[in-house]
C-alpha cells in the first residue's frame, strides 16, 4: 500500500504555551493530515530532552517528555487555575525560547501536582496508582534519578555522593523516603504524559493516521538507563565511559564525529535476552505504530573511540549484536514495524542485515543531485517499494535552504532531472518523492510550507540554536492541505487508492 505523511515534532506545533503540546493543536494537525490524505505523522524521540534541548540526548530512553504535557486540559480537569497560563512565554511564534520556557513549565507542573493532590477524584488517583504499578520497573528508578539530579544541582550522576552514584541499597532507600513527594510528582508527570499521548494516538488512529516514532541506538551517559544498568555499558569504577560512540573520519569530516555516548556491552545484554531493549521497544510501541531506528548500521558494527581521545580518529570498528537483538525483541513482542536509518557509509554487511530482517531503508532526495546517474538516492535507482523516501530529514536544511546553498552542478542537475524551473523547489522534490516507487514518502512540514534555512530543525555538529523551530499559527492553510491532497491523489497514495 502506497502511503505518505509529514515529519513534524510535537514541540514544533503552534499553541499558547510557548511550545507545542499534546493538546488541541496536535489534534488540529491530525485533522489536517486526514484532509490532506496523509496516512503518517513522523516524530522525533518523545523522551525527556537533555543537553542542548536535543531529543537525542535524553535523561531516559523509556520516559516521556513532560514539556509536551498539555496544561489547558489540566485546567479543564480542575487541577490548575486558568490564570496560571496567562504568563506563558509565547514570545516569537516561530521559535521555542527554551531558556524562558523550561523554568516556566517546571513551575506550572509543580503547581499542577499540588492541584492534583488537592482536587483529583478517587478514579483519577486510582489511575495514577495503576500506572505506577504497571510501569514500576523503570518508572520508580527514573523518578529517583530525576529527583537526585535536582538534589545535586543538576550534576551528572557520576558526581553525586558516592553511595548514591554507586547505588548503595541503604542510601537509595533513604533517598526515596526523604524525597517521596518529589518522586510522586515525577511519576504523576509521566502518568499524565502517557495518558495524554495515548488519547492523542487514539485520535490519530481513528482518522487512519499512524504515528512513526524514533529510537536512537545510543543513550546519554547522564541518564537513568546508564545509572541503573551500569553493567550493560563500558564504564570505569567511577561510572565514567572508557570508550564512546561516534563515526570514523570520512569525506565530510577529516576527524570523524565523536558523539560521546557510552557504548553497550552487547555480550552482557545478550545474557538476559536483551531485556532492556525489549522494554524499550515495548514502551515505544505503546506510543507509536511504527519506528525509525537511528544509526541502524551500529547494530552490525559500531565505531568505538577511546574516551580520552578528543576526536573520532584512532577508533575501531567493533561487532554489534546483529539480528540476535531483533530476534529477541520479535520473540517477545511480535513482528516489528521498523524503518532502518541506513544513511552514511553503509557496507554490504549492513545491507545484508537490513534485508535479512526485511526492513525498509531510507532515501533522501537532497542527497541525490550533483553526481552521476548511479547515485542511490535518485528515484530511478530505488529498489522498489521497500524503502522510505524523504525530501529531507530533521538533520538536513529545509529543501528551500538546501537549494539556495547548493552547488551550481547540483542545482542544475535537480532542475534537469525533474524538468522544473526550481521556483517551487520544495514542492518539486515533494512531488518527486510522492511519485517514486517507494512504499512510503515523507516530507518535513517545513517543505510543505516552502520555508528556508530559518526553519531548519537541527544542524549536526552545532550545539546551540537547534530544535527550536515552530510552525506559525495558521501557516498550514487549507489551500496547502488541498494541494498536498491533490499530489497524493495523483501519485496513488490516498488512503482509498
**Partner residues linked to 473 by β-bridges:** none
Residue with cell string 524525597: 179
Residue of 34, 70, 294, 428 marked active site: 294
Who's near 260: CB < 8 A, 6+ residues apart?
221, 241, 244, 245, 246
Extract the C-alpha cell encoding 406: 547548493
Q: Kindly list the distances between the CA atom of residue 484 and the CA atoms of 93, 334, 447, in Å, as whole numbers in the listed order.
A: 24, 34, 11
d(CA 212, CA 209): 10
Contact 389, 377 (CB under 8 A): no
Residue of 31, 184, 351, 395 marked active site: 395
Which residue, among 51, 53, 109, has the nearest Cα to 80 in the 3D structure? 109
3-state secondary structure (DSSP) of residue 2: coil
Radius of gyration of the chain (CA): 23
- The dihedrals phi and psi of 233, each to the nearest 5 degrees, come to -130, 160
Residue of 279, 341, 342, 447 marked active site: 341
Q: Is 331 a catalytic residue?
A: no
Contact 72, 26 (CB under 8 A): no
d(CA 457, CA 142): 28
d(CA 7, CA 445): 6
Who's near 328: CB < 8 A, 6+ residues apart?
270, 273, 274, 277, 278
- Angle, helices 122-151/275-287, rounded to nearest 10 degrees: 130
Q: Is 395 a catalytic residue?
A: yes
Alpha-carbon dihedral sign for residues 147, 148, 150, 156 = negative
Strand ranges across the sheet with 316-319? 257-262, 243-247, 301-306, 316-319
DSSP secondary structure string for all residues of 390-441? ES--TTSPPHHHHHHHS-HHHHHHHHHHHT--STTHHHHHHHHHHHSS-SEE
Residue with cell string 534541548: 53
Extract the C-alpha cell encoding 228: 541503573
d(CA 333, CA 283): 11
**What residues are annotated to the active site?**
294, 341, 395
Amino acid at each position: 500500500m502506497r502511503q505518505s505523511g509529514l515529519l513534524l515534532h510535537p514541540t514544533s506545533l503552534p499553541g499558547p504555551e510557548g511550545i507545542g503540546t499534546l493538546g488541541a493543536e496536535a489534534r488540529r494537525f491530525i485533522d489536517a493530515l486526514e484532509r490532506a490524505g496523509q496516512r503518517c505523522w513522523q516524530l522525533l524521540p518523545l523522551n525527556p530532552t537533555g543537553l542542548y534541548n536535543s531529543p537525542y540526548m535524553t535523561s531516559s530512553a523509556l520516559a516521556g517528555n513532560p514539556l509536551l504535557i498539555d496544561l489547558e486540559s489540566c485546567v479543564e480537569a480542575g487541577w490548575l487555575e486558568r490564570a496560571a497560563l496567562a504568563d506563558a512565554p509565547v514570545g516569537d511564534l516561530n521559535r521555542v525560547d527554551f531558556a524562558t520556557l523550561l523554568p516556566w513549565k517546571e513551575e506550572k507542573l509543580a503547581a499542577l501536582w499540588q492541584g492534583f493532590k488537592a482536587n483529583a477524584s478517587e478514579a483519577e488517583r486510582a489511575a495514577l496508582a495503576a500506572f505506577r504499578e504497571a510501569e514500576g520497573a523503570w518508572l520508580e528508578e527514573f523518578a529517583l534519578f530525576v529527583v537526585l539530579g535536582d538534589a545535586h544541582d543538576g550534576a551528572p550522576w557520576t558526581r553525586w555522593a558516592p553511595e548514591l552514584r554507586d547505588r548503595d541499597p541503604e542510601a537509595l532507600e533513604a533517598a526515596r523516603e526523604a524525597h517521596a513527594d518529589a518522586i510522586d510528582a515525577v511519576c504523576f508527570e509521566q502518568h499524565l504524559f502517557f495518558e495524554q499521548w495515548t488519547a492523542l494516538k487514539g485520535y490519530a488512529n481513528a482518522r487512519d493516521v499512524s504515528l512513526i516514532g524514533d529510537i536512537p541506538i545510543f543513550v546519554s551517559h547522564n541518564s537513568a538507563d546508564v545509572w541503573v544498568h551500569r553493567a550493560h555499558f563500558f564504564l570505569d569504577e567511577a561510572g565514567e565511559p572508557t570508550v564512546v560512540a561516534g563515526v570514523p573520519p570520512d569525506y565530510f569530516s577529516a576527524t570523524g564525529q565523536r558523539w560521546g555516548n557510552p557504548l553497550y556491552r552487547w555480550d552482557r545484554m545478550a545474557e538476559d535476552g536483551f531485556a532492556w531493549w525489549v522494554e524499550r521497544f515495548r514502551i515505544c510501541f505503546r506510543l507509536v505504530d511504527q519506528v525509525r531506528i537511528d544509526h541502524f548500521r551500529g547494530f552490525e558494527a559500531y565505531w568505538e573511540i577511546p574516551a580520552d581521545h578528543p576526536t573520532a580518529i584512532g577508533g575501531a570498528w567493533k561487532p554489534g549484536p546483529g539480528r540476535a537483538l531483533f530476534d529477541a525483541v520479535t520473540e517477545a513482542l511480535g513482528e516489528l514495524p521498523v524503518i532502518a536509518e541506513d544513511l552514511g557509509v553503509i557496507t554490504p554487511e549492513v545491507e545484508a542485515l537490513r534485508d535479512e530482517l526485511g526492513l525498509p531503508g531510507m532515501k533522501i532526495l537532497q542527497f541525490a543531485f550533483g553526481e552521476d546517474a548511479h547515485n542511490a538516492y535518485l528515484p530511478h535507482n530505488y529498489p522498489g517499494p521497500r524503502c522510505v523516501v524523504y525530501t529531507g530529514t530533521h538533520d538536513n536544511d529545509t529543501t528551500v535552504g538546501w537549494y539556495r546553498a547548493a552547488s551550481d552542478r547540483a542545482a542544475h542537475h535537480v532542475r534537469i532531472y525533474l524538468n522544473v524551473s526550481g521556483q517551487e523547489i520544495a514542492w518539486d522534490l515533494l512531488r518527486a518523492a510522492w511519485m517514486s516507487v517507494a512504499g512510503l514518502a515523507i516530507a518535513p512540514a517545513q517543505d510543505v510550507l516552502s520555508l528556508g534555512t530559518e526553519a531548519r530543525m537541527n544542524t549536526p555538529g552545532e550545539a546551540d540554536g537547534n530544535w527550536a523551530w515552530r510552525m506559525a499559527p495558521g501557516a498550514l492553510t487549507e489551500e496547502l492541505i488541498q494541494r498536498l491532497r491533490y499530489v497524493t491523489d495523483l501519485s496513488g497514495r490516498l488512503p482509498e487508492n
